[in-house]
Amino acid sequence: MAKAYMIGTGIGNLAAGIYLIRDGGWSGDQITMFGLEKHGANDGAKVTDYEKEYGNPKLGNSKGYLAKGGRMLNEETYENLWDVLRSVPSLDNPGQSVTDDILNFDHAHPTHDVARLMDSLDGIRNKGDQKDYNHMQFNNQDRMLLTKLMMMPESKESQLNDVSIEQWFAKSPHIFTTNFWHMWQTTFAFKKESSAMELRRYMNRMILEFSRINTLEGVTRTPYNQYESIIVPMRKYLKDHGVNFIDNRKITEFVFKDTALRDDIVVTGLKYEEVDNDNKAGEIEVGENDFVFDTNGSITDSSSIGDLDTPIKENMEYAPSAALWKQATEHFYNLGNPDKFFADRKQSEWLSFTITTDNHFLLNEISRITQQEPGNALNTWIDSSNLLSIVVHHQPHFHAQKENETVFWGYAMYPRRNGDYVDKPFIEMTGKEMLQELLGHLAAVDPARDNIADHTEEIMDSVVNVIPAYMPYASALFNRRAVGDRPDVVPKNSKNLAFISQFAEMPFDMVFTEQYSFRCAQIAVYHFMGLPDSELTPLHHYEKQPKVLAKATKTMFR
């Protein structure tokens, strides 16, 4: 009986397991999943739950909740995700699927952001003047270069090898002063240094969202955090089907067969360490009919966590998932270049912080200042030195959250810059200092006579915890790259090894999305199961629809 070994228990391998069972006809006991933690990039939990994985007392203050980030879903373009999650039963609403759970919630609580951009001089940029973020603020050179980038054929993508967004717009740096760029970079986590190749893919795949980026109406939100709304139901589905989960086992090395044809890729063994058992070493034999699915890179690898009174201590470890990928590249020439994504933290680092309070005073103050209820997406201070943003969720954001508690998170895209109200680099701040920095920016845009600054002591008294989370590789998937730097999902001549992650290569689709991981999973499973490509989930091509393009063109001149 054939077996499948999944390295990493992120959303991609969970999806691969479901595809094997649902479409490949496998039984769950043929599948084993190895993970160092249960959360991955779709995280969210009480701090005490994280401590069980990271090792107590690593997080210090054990109170409150932690969400390193959040994933924004999209109803129109996440075709694989919705298809798979229709097969996964809801844990909250018997008789429904996870897809039903999410879309029903989203339709009942549609996103409409009315405070997307703010600055200290003008407050919320939605006053109807030329600074109103309904205006993209392009000049003709911006429009020409953006259109030229989007219209570039896929066959010519190599022209963008190692080209940054800043280099592409070298003749029109004006674009980096526009409302479009302020919204784009903080919605999707792009930087000037990021890959123009990825910007091209986003402009095509997300062209439907271009005309509504100012309100984020295309954002589909989950009822709770992504871990509880998506990962937990998927894990239960797999466990109910007999899948074996082995936690805290780190796969350290692929053992490859020395074939007559030297470029044939055949995994015959997996060397490992037991992380919670004195790093006890071992090896798993991989049979000739078995398959290996590897998460060759994770954006939350090597994270560092602080607390209310403790700044993070930077973890300098090379991403463990990428280290395994790198070991494979030492044997075969066509498996990409992990250093492009994991050797330059300046391109990819950012820092988030999760705030838990024991009453709703701060939440209500934010709603008063931003003029929107919780759940309406994203607020960015465009003149903040760190490029500070917050995401205030629909409450509660966790099943275990108490009725009186508020939980939301924020992030700084440039954590090594000094704060505007706390004079030290953001990365060196305690959780309390990060909240003070946020309160300074809230006060700067607060028009009320009874300003939020007058209630600092009251707010601080309500704080349960503020958890900083530094992620050196958070946007590594946008790093400058060339064609060939990412391995194919199933590399050429691979007989049993597939890569399922944001660092595998597929045509057209865009990284930093669950859709990308689900699509990788389907391509890998269908290849190994001998299922035809014609049965892959169809993708929408809005970039080819005249009405969508006409609306996008109109938006360019808005």
CB atoms within 10 A of CB 234: 22
Nearest-angstrom CA–CA distance, 343 and 291: 29
Nearest-angstrom CA–CA distance, 218 and 41: 21
Integer angstrom CA distances of residue 69 from 63, 231, 470, 512: 18, 15, 11, 12
H helix runs in 41-193, sequence order: 47-54, 79-85, 98-108, 140-151, 165-168, 179-188
Q: Known catalytic residues? A: 202
Nearest-10 crossing angle of helices 140-151, 196-205: 80
Residue tagged 């200092």 (tokens): 433
CA-wise closest residue to 11 among 89, 77, 80, 74: 80
In the chain the first and final C-alpha atoms are separated, in Å, by 60
Q: What is the DSSP letter of 149?
A: H
**Residue 73, amino acid:** L
Cα angle value 103/136/211 (rounded, 5°):
30
- Beta strand extents in 3-155 (DSSP E only): 4-7, 31-35, 45-46, 65-66, 117-119, 123-124
SS3 492: coil
Nearest-angstrom CA–CA distance, 126 and 447: 14
Nearest-angstrom CA–CA distance, 115 and 421: 21
